[in-house]
Amino acid sequence: MITYKDLCNAWKKDIDTKSKIRTQLIEAALKFAFELAKNLGLQDKRYNLNGQEKKYVRLDPYKNGEKSEDNFLDIPMFKNEDIFYIDYALSLVLERDEKSSQRTNFYIPFKNYIENENLIIQVNDGRPQSDKTRFEIPVTSSEYSDIEAAFQAPVEEYKRMIMEKYKAL
C-alpha cells in the first residue's frame, strides 16, 4: 500500500531530479557564454550604456521566439516528451570602434538539453538541424573534462554565423 510518506518521497525525488537537470543546463549555457567571451578576449571587458556597465557577451531568456530582458538565472525549464530543456539567447554586442557609442546587439537562440548522457546545444532559430547547428558534449556527472575543447565547435559556429550575417556584399 502506498503511504503518504511514499508520495512525499516520490515528489521530493522528482523536484530534486528536475532541479539537478535545470542546474546542469544553465551551467552549460553559462560555460558556453564564458568560452565565447574568453575566445574573443571579452571576459573582463564592459561597455557603458546609459551609465550602466554591461558585458559584451550575455545570456538572455528566449520566450515565444523573442529575446527577453528577464534575469537569465530565472529561466524556466520546459519538458517535451521525455526531454527537459531550456531556451536562451546568447548575445554579443558589436561596436563600430572602442570610442564609438554605435553598437548592435547580435543574438542567436539556443536550446540546451541532455540526451543519452550528452549535453546537446542546439541552434533554435528554425533552420534544419545539422552537425553545424547541433553540438553534443559528453557529460560525466555534470563535469566537462576539457571545457575549452568541449565548447570550441559551438563557439566557432556562433562566430561563423555572425560573419555570415555581416559579411560585405
Give the tens place of pLDDT for each residue, 97-141: 777 778 888 899 999 998 888 889 999 877 767 667 888 887 764
Q: Residues 134, 158: contact at Cβ < 8 Å? A: no
Q: What is the CA radius of gyration of the chain?
A: 18
Nearest CA to 132 among 113, 150, 155? 155
Q: Residues 144, 31: contact at Cβ < 8 Å? A: yes
Give the tens place of pLDDT for each residue, 51-103: 889 899 999 988 877 888 788 888 889 988 889 999 999 999 998 877 777 88
- Rounded Cα distance between 64 and 25, Å, is 19
Does residue 137 sit in helix, strand or coil? strand
Nearest CA to 90 among 29, 163, 47, 165? 29
Please tell me the pTM assigned to this model.
0.86
- Rounded Cα distance between 59 and 34, Å, is 10
**1 Cβ neighbours under 8 A, 6+ residues apart:** none
Q: Is the pLDDT at 30 greater than 90, yes or no?
A: yes
